[in-house]
């Protein structure tokens, strides 16, 4: 990297000012507000505010519903990340082969990314709506007792599928670009060295793809923690019986619907801490095994 | 070790034929060099032997097996690529051991082979390094090492030296040749560099537009090129060509010189006469006007023009310097003139 010199100390700060400003206004300010809020208890009508130190956090950790949300989030996020990364990789490997109409396939595969989460949720809702959905009707004809409005497992399956589907196209795009940047001759060399297609993939292609996979892992974790809110809200509203209530959805339902601003703020602080920790851990440990 | 045989090998891409039936038997332990300009199909031919390109027609055998339908891994050949194609995420050691591990060798066996190859190629100190920490020449050696540890039936080289600088290229050229002699493994080497081709080959395959125009020893190709293309491609500076017609007495009339073909040619036939710059000497028949002189130290190149407008390059030993604008008579000995049919490009003999 070339070092660039500036005359005067003022100018470089001007150049990074917009970025700093955006981060300050849209991250540090609300984040600090949340931290402050999490130390307060407010009555339902907003007339009285009391500073209570860590009482909100104490209540949270003794609340079995909060642990339920934690478990739901772990199950939900690992499954969605695994599914969307796995399928995206599979599709990318297929699309990377020289096939007729490859360009059309690629375009079609990218489309779901252009669909807003809430719209995607509604789409899946229509297909799986117990009494009207076309897929639901097929399922019933096949003897499956499909009603995700009553069955927590089915509800979970549905939001997982919808969330994974939505993210596959994004992952696919990056995997495909990663695959195409691997020199063909390296793979050919492995073929001549005696490696069959499976071994070529796991010993050559996959390690060389690991920077992409790592990047996507981080992005996907953030996605399932936050951006799946729209899908859950549209499809299940966190139900039935809180079976699909993830941490981020609980923040919303407790704060906006339940009116417990302090508790909700405490939850979002914890959520933020979890995501920051996860990302830091990923960078520290997973990145070491990554080959750039 | 094995013989590699090509029998009327053809390749077409969607009906567009790029290799028009090449036949050639490469003997056990022989070093064959495929040479030609870019786009002549030489790399495609090599990749067909390796199994990286499908064979559209004909037959390729390695040893006593027809390999047309075999996967690359089952052909037991090793290949050195132009960009080396090292596995970027593996150490030098692992790069070389990769193929052996796949073949299920024991750790001890692998270690013996890798250490031996590393010693031969002077790669000992670099075994733990990653390819990106190596220089171009060292990468080239690792690519060689990866090929030799396998002890394959044949080595395939796809322009392995073209990414190196000129000095290193000469050095590696000698090393590859020595190594091949020592290991005595059948090798096919693709290059566009005619000096590499001439110096390394036991046998040259000169290709042009998907056709093997001349297959023979380097000296044979130099002394008796089979076609006009081969004559112009092999040799530096390139052979001079003068177009003429056979006279009524069977002789060839050039600008001030008369040539008598060794074989009888029909009067009126269009003939291209070729003469190598190094076979022209001062004195005698042809009179040229000197246009440019290049001093190379060991010898001198004189660029001149005949009175009929054709240009001629002459290579003179030492530093004899005619001035530009001078007139200079030149001649060549009988037998040094190559004759080609102007229309077909086929060799017609000497004069």
- Which chain B residue shows the shortest CA-CA distance from A208? B89
Nearest to B83 among A183, A191, A203 (CB): A183
Q: Is the pLDDT confidence value at A157 over 70? A: yes
Least CB-CB distance to A185: which of B72, B77, B81? B81
Structure confidence by residue, pLDDT tens digits, A68-94: 888 888 888 889 999 999 999 998 888
- Residue-level pLDDT at A259: 67
Sequence-separated (6 or more) residues with CB below 8 Å from residue A241: A152
The residue of chain A nearest to residue B149, with distances taken between CA atoms, is A193
Cβ contact, residue pair A191, B88, below 8 Å: no
Longest dimension (CA), chain B: 78
In a domain, A5, yes or no: no
Q: Is the pLDDT of residue A249 over 60?
A: yes
Q: For residue A194, give how far its alpha carbon lies from the nearest alpha carbon of chain B (Å).
A: 4
Chain A (186-225) residues lying within 8 Å, Cβ to Cβ, of chain B: 186, 188-196, 199, 203-204, 207-208
Contact check, Cβ <8 Å, B52/A207: no
| Interface residue ranges in chain B relative to chain A, Cβ cutoff 8 Å | 50-52, 71-73, 75, 77-79, 81-83, 85-89, 98-99, 102-103, 146, 150
What pLDDT is attached to residue A290?
58
Instruction: State which residue of chain A sits closest to B73, comparing Cα positions.
Output: A194
Place of tokens 């112009």: B232
Cis amide leading into B274 (omega within 30) = no
DSSP structural state of residue A159: H
Give CA torsion, residues A211, A212, A218, A219, to 10 deg.
160
Pairwise CB contact (< 8 Å): A194 & B103: yes
Q: What is the CATH number of the domain that holds A206?
A: 1.10.3720.10
pLDDT band at A291 (very low <50, low <70, confident <90, very high): low
Give the three-state DSSP class for B313.
strand
**CATH superfamily, with its number, for domain B4-229:** P-loop containing nucleotide triphosphate hydrolases (3.40.50.300)
**With 70 as the cut, is the pLDDT of residue A228 above it?**
yes
Contact B81 A208 (CB under 8 A): no
Tell me: pLDDT of A1 over 80: no
Contact list in A for residue B77 (CB cut-off 8 A) is: 192
CB contact under 8 A, B83 and A189: no
- Residue A289 pLDDT more than 60? no
**pLDDT, tens only, A26-69:** 888 888 888 888 887 777 666 777 777 777 787 788 888 888 88
In whole angstroms, what is the distance from residue B42 CA to residue B21 CA?
A: 13
What's the CATH fold of domain B237-350? OB fold (Dihydrolipoamide Acetyltransferase, E2P) (2.40.50)
Residue of A nearest to B97 (CA): A193
CA distance A80 to chain B (A): 29
Position A9 scores a pLDDT of 82
DSSP string, B96-163: HHHHHHHTT--HHHHHHHHHHHHHHTT-GGGTTS-GGGS-HHHHHHHHHHHHHTT--SEEEEESTTTT
User: What pLDDT, on the 0 to 100 scale, is given for residue A2?
Assistant: 58
How is the beta sheet containing B311-317 ordered, strand by strand?
B311-317, B299-306, B280-295, B327-332
Q: Whole-angstrom Cα distance, residue B226 to residue B171?
A: 31
The mean per-residue pLDDT over the stretch A222-239 comes to 78
Using CA atoms, how far apart are residues B251 and A263, in angstroms rounded to an integer?
Answer: 110
CB contact under 8 A, A193 and B102: yes
- Among B50, B52, B85, the residue with its CB nearest the CB of A186 is B85
The residue of B13, B95, B96, B98 whose CB has the most chain A CBs within 10 angstroms, and thus the best one to mutate to test that interface, is: B98
Range of the domain at A126: 63-289
- A 12-71 near B (Cβ less than 8 A): none
Nearest CA in chain A to B143: A189
| Secondary structure (3-state) at A110 | helix
Q: Which helix (H) or strand (E) holds B19?
A: strand B16-26
Report phi then psi at B28, rounded to 5.
-55, 125
pLDDT recorded at residue B203: 93
Distance CA A192, CA B288 (A): 56
- Residue owning tokens 């375009």: A107
Q: Which residues from chain A sit within 8 angstroms of residue B149, using beta carbons?
A: none
Q: Do A186 and B103 touch (CB under 8 A)?
A: no
Where residue A13 falls among pLDDT bands split at 50, 70, 90? confident
CB contact under 8 A, B50 and A203: no
Across A26-30, A108-112, A237-241, least confident range: A237-241
**Domain spans, chain B:** 4-229, 237-350
pLDDT digits (tens, 9 = 90+) for A260-279: 777 788 888 888 888 888 88
CB proximity A181 to B under 8 Å: no
Nearest to A72 by CA among A230, A214, A241, A219: A241
Instruction: Tell me the shortest Cα–Cα distance from B208 to chain A, in angstroms.
Output: 25
Query: Angle, nearest 10°, between helix axes A102-110 and A64-96?
Result: 160
In chain B, what residues touch A201 (CB-CB under 8 Å)?
A: none
Mean pLDDT calculated for residue range A144-173: 82
Sign of torsion over alpha carbons A47, A52, A55, A57: positive
Task: Report residue A235's pLDDT band, with 50, 70 and 90 as the boundaries.
Answer: confident
Domain assignment present for residue A9? The answer is: no
Give the global pTM.
0.77
Partners of residue A193 in chain B, C-beta under 8 Å: 73, 78, 98-99, 102, 146, 150
Give the total number of structural domains in chain A.
1
Q: Which of B71, B77, B89 has its CB closest to that of A208?
A: B89
* pLDDT for res A33: 84
Look up the ipTM and state it: 0.81
Q: Are residues A191 and B71, on separate chains, in Cβ contact within 8 Å? A: yes
The Cα of B29 is separated from the nearest Cα of chain A by a number of Å equal to 20
Min Cα–Cα distance to chain A from B143, Å: 10
> Which residues from A are below 8 Å from B54, CB to CB?
none
Question: Is residue A37 in a domain?
Answer: no
* Residue A221, domain member (yes or no): yes
Name the 3-class secondary structure at B162.
coil
List per-residue pLDDT tens for chain B, 351 residues long. 688 999 999 998 888 888 998 899 999 999 999 999 988 889 999 999 998 988 998 899 998 889 888 888 888 899 999 888 999 889 999 999 998 998 888 999 999 999 998 988 888 889 999 998 888 888 988 999 999 998 889 999 999 888 888 888 888 889 889 889 888 999 999 999 888 999 999 999 999 998 999 999 999 999 999 999 999 999 888 999 988 888 888 888 887 778 888 888 888 888 999 999 999 888 877 888 888 888 888 888 999 888 888 888 999 887 777 777 788 888 888 888 999 999 898 998 888
Among candidates A191, A207, A208 on the partner chain, residue whose Cβ is nearest the Cβ of B72: A191
């Amino acid at each position: 990297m070339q070092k660039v010199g500036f005359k005067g100390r003022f100018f470089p700060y001007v150049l990074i000012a917009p970025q700093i400003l955006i981060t300050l206004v849209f991250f540090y300010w609300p984040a600090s507000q949340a931290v402050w809020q999490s130390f307060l208890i407010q009555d339902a009508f907003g007339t009285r505010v009391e500073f209570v130190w860590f009482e909100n956090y104490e209540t949270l950790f003794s609340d079995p519903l909060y642990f339920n949300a934690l478990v739901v989030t772990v199950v939900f996020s690992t499954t969605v990340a695994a599914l969307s990364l796995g399928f995206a990789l599979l599709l990318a490997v297929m699309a990377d082969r020289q096939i007729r109409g490859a360009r059309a396939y690629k375009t079609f595969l990218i489309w779901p990314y252009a669909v807003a989460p809430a719209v995607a949720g509604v789409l899946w809702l229509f297909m799986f709506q117990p009494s009207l959905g076309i897929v639901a009707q097929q399922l019933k004809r096949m003897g499956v007792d499909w009603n995700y409005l009553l069955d927590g497992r089915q509800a979970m399956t549905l939001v997982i599928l919808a969330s994974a589907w939505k993210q596959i196209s994004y992952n696919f795009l990056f995997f495909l670009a990663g695959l195409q940047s691997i020199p063909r001759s390296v793979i050919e060399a492995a073929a001549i060295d005696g490696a069959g297609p499976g071994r070529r993939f796991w010993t050559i292609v996959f390690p060389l793809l690991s920077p992409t996979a790592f990047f996507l892992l981080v992005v996907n974790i953030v996605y399932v923690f936050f951006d799946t809110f729209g899908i859950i809200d549209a499809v299940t509203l966190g139900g039935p019986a809180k079976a699909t209530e993830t941490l981020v959805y609980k923040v919303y339902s407790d704060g906006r619907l339940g009116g417990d601003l302090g508790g909700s703020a405490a939850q979002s602080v914890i959520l933020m801490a979890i995501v920051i920790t996860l990302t830091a851990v990923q960078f520290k440990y997973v990145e070491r095994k990554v080959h750039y | 070790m094995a013989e590699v045989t090509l029998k009327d090998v053809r390749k077409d891409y969607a009906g567009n034929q790029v290799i028009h039936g090449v036949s050639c038997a490469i003997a056990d332990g022989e070093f064959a060099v495929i040479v030609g300009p870019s786009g002549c199909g030489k790399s495609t031919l090599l990749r067909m032997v390796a199994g990286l390109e499908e064979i559209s027609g004909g037959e390729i055998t390695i040893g006593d097996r027809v390999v047309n339908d075999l996967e690359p891994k089952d052909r037991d050949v090793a290949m050195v690529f132009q960009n080396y194609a090292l596995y970027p995420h593996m150490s030098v050691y692992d790069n070389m051991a990769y193929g052996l591990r796949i073949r299920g060798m024991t750790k001890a066996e692998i270690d013996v082979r890798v250490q031996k190859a590393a010693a031969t190629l002077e790669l000992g100190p670099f075994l733990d390094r990653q390819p990106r920490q190596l220089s171009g020449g060292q990468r080239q050696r690792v690519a060689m090492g990866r090929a030799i540890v396998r002890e394959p039936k044949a080595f395939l080289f796809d322009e392995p030296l073209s990414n190196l600088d000129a000095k290193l290229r000469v050095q590696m050229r000698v090393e590859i040749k020595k190594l091949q002699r020592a290991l005595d493994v059948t090798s096919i080497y693709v290059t566009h560099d005619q000096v590499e081709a001439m110096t390394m080959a036991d046998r040259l395959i000169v290709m042009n537009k998907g056709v093997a125009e001349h297959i023979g020893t380097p000296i044979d190709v130099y002394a008796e090129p089979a076609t006009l293309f081969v004559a112009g491609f092999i040799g530096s500076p390139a052979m001079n060509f003068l177009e003429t017609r056979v006279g009524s007495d069977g002789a060839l009339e050039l600008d001030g010189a008369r040539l008598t073909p060794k074989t009888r040619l029909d009067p009126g036939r269009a003939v291209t006469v070729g003469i190598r710059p190094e076979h022209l000497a001062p004195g005698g028949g042809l009179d040229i006007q000197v246009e440019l002189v290049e001093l190379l130290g060991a010898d001198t190149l004189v660029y001149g023009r005949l009175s009929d407008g054709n240009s001629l390059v002459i290579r003179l030993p030492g530093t004899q310097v005619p001035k530009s604008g001078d007139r200079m008579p030149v001649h060549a000995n009988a037998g040094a003139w190559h004759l080609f049919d102007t229309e077909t490009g086929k060799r017609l003999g000497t004069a």
